[in-house]
Structure 1
Amino acid sequence: MSPTVAVVAHRKKTLGAGLDRLRVLITEQDVGELLWYEVPKSKKARKKVRQALKEGADLVFVWGGDGMVQRCADVLAGSGVPMAILPAGTGNLFATNLGLPIDLEETVRIGFHGRRERLDLGLLNGEHFAVMAGAGFEAEMIADADGQAKRRLGKLSYVRAAVRHVGGPLVPMTIEVDGTTWFDDQASCLLLGNVGTIAGGIEAFDDARPDDGWLEVGVSTAQGPVQWARVIGRMATGRSEESPFVRITRARKVSARFGAPLTYELDGGEREATTKIDAEAVPGALTICLPPEPPA
């Protein structure tokens, strides 16, 4: 029996010859029913994914960037229905970390004929994320790197945003990892990672894997341009843990309390400021379509 295939697309994002070409490529495959949903912004995607699952989708193509992927993964988590990513966003960190090409024809082929793998997600304050979550400096930087700047400047948009926020204050933080107090001091940034490469192409967590059942945890006490330049320099050379302004560990569960409300983000999407974060790794939560394994 031919599969029911759903497409959930951010209509303002572009890849290859566009959504019309995507429809043609899908209809060239052995497809039963095609469910097609377009949304004007990523936060409207959850409702469409729920509808697709209700209508019996066997495979869900997600057209957009990390924000779209995050919203859709939040609904697909635990369903067993595979997600095929069509990386059409200004930020495609999850796709890049997974080795997916920025190529429409090839990613459609991977969706239908690639291997299926179950990968971890993070769960923060009740919402899943695929790449990273953060509070403090990093979240403020991402919120400030608006979409237009990202399209025009790419990684430089994050650098420009970072420069505007390096003078921000340190905030008291108490962070527990797996039930034990790990950090109790002032800090400028808390970062949780499911993969290694984060916003701006920075390699924040050298050993991160999205299939190991762990969240990477980083906290920075850097303040001001000189200290942050040293931190980013160490990250750029893959030696984050050697910075005197960074502590890194990993955990199954993380609980953080802040002395003042901090903006936080999930996969590049800003959320309202909060004084507490509760997060955990969710092993094997998302079934994803990946390129075939290379021959041994």
Structure 2
Amino acid sequence: MDVMTITGPQRSAVVVNPVKVPDLDVLRRTVTDALTAQGWPEPMWLETTVDDPGAGQARQAVRDGAELVLACGGDGTVMACVTALAGSDVALAVLPAGTGNLLAANLGLSGDLATGLEVVLQGGRRRIDVGAVGEQSFAVMAGMGFDAHMLDATSDTAKKHIGWLAYVAGAVQHLRDRPMHLRITLDDKPSFTRRPRTVIVGNVGRLQGGMRLLSEARPDDGLLDVAILSPRTLRHWAALGWGVLRRKQRVPRMETYTATRVQIRSKRAQPRQLDGDLIDPGKDLLVTVRPKALLLCVPQPATDPDLTHDANAVEHDAHEVR
């Protein structure tokens, strides 16, 4: 796994969702002071809008010469920036501000702004794959079914007060929903039918609350990891959850696969999500992988085996980029 080290200051831009930030002035002052103290130029500041959650702002930052975009908002803001920056040489940094923060969780980051800025200034950069659904890209996972139902049922007010635990309440409301009727095709292999509760297509493996669903998922292997979850009863859900928590090789009521192209077709429209952000319901979810399309700021030295250095890897390649 290649982690590059960037030395010297970079031109940067902050794409911020002002709704997710308690005090925008404090944020601007904190970020600007941290960067300029290390000799970096003052960053550009671009606020998201209801109509544009961050993709347009990130593209504008690139046009204006930014070498680094800092995304400060929820999962929707981060995903919009991933979509805009994938395929470019402009790096993305995550400054957690929302509740889900799926990419931040997979980076091993807390919601602490100072930690996020430290990662930026350490200079660790790593190229990771992204998944693509239509014109949108994601860094963590896409899903159809129960997981999207859970997101839709989760109260914004509850998320503000109790954080990721609010998703539990949303999940409970849909534990007894009917299974889906799906036809799934992986690459050019013969399609097969299933009646699952949800299908997750992941680039990395951690869910809200740090639960690791896809134990073999790696962000730079050029593959998507697929989990098909088919519990029928509350007992099934309990066995599945316990198996995931225990990190068992074989989890009851869960099948896993890998592919570079995943097509999921349903008999009726289903809720869908990308990186913890709802997209329009649909009968079809086609996911492809874009290998090593995103340059991401990562902690250095390693703290997490998913998106930072793998401490157990045999080889470590360090590159100085100037």
Give the structure-2-normalised TM-score: 0.84
Q: Deviations over 1:59-78 (max 9, x none)?
A: 11111232211110110001
Specify the SS of the correspondent of 1:48.
helix
2:48 pairs with 1:44: no
List gaps (5 residues or longer) in structure 1: none
Equivalent in the alignment of 2:254: 246
Equivalent in the alignment of 2:159: 150
Equivalent in the alignment of 1:233: 242
Counterpart of 1:196, as a letter, is G
Equivalent in the alignment of 1:223: 232
Counterpart of 1:3, as a letter, is Q
Question: Cα distance, 1:146 vs. partner?
Answer: 2.8
Structure 2 counterparts to residues 19-58 of structure 1, below 5 A: 19-32=28-41, 34-40=43-49, 43-58=52-67
> CA, structure 1 residues 23+42, in 2 after alignment: closer, same or farther (shift >3 Å)?
farther
Equivalent in the alignment of 2:281: 273
2: CA distance, partners of 1:242 / 1:42: 41
2: CA distance, partners of 1:260 / 1:279: 18
Q: Which of 59, 63, 66 lines up with 2:68 in the alignment?
A: 59
- The alignment of Structure 1 onto Structure 2 pairs a total of residues equal to 295
Specify the SS of the correspondent of 1:84.
strand
Question: Cα distance, 1:168 vs. partner?
Answer: 1.1
2:1 pairs with 1:9: no
Q: Which of 151, 155, 163 lines up with 2:172 in the alignment?
A: 163
Structure 2 counterparts to residues 94-109 of structure 1, below 5 A: 94-109=103-118
Q: Deviations over 1:128-148 (max 9, x none)?
A: 111111001111011212322
Question: Cα distance, 1:38 vs. partner?
Answer: 1.8
2:267 pairs with 1:259: yes
Whether the 8 Å CA contact 1:142–1:199 is kept in 2: the answer is no
2: CA distance, partners of 1:78 / 1:42: 23
Specify the SS of the correspondent of 2:78.
helix
Counterpart of 1:232, as a letter, is G
Whether the 8 Å CA contact 1:168–1:224 is kept in 2: the answer is no
1: CA distance, partners of 2:265 / 2:134: 12
Structure 2 counterparts to residues 168-247 of structure 1, below 5 A: 168-181=177-190, 183-239=192-248, 241-243=250-252, 245-247=253-255
Whether the 8 Å CA contact 1:78–1:286 is kept in 2: the answer is yes
List gaps (5 residues or longer) in structure 2: 1-7, 303-310, 317-322
2: CA distance, partners of 1:167 / 1:139: 15
Specify the SS of the correspondent of 1:283.
strand
Whether the 8 Å CA contact 1:121–1:286 is kept in 2: the answer is yes
Identity of aligned residues (%): 33
Which segment is superposed worse, 210-219 or 222-231? Answer: 222-231
1: CA distance, partners of 2:145 / 2:52: 22
Whether the 8 Å CA contact 1:168–1:223 is kept in 2: the answer is no
Whether the 8 Å CA contact 2:224–2:260 is kept in 1: the answer is yes
Question: Cα distance, 1:154 vs. partner?
Answer: 2.8
Question: Cα distance, 1:2 vs. partner?
Answer: 5.8
2: CA distance, partners of 1:293 / 1:59: 20
1: CA distance, partners of 2:163 / 2:250: 26
Give the RMSD, CA atoms, in angstroms.
2.3
Question: Cα distance, 1:41 vs. partner?
Answer: 5.1
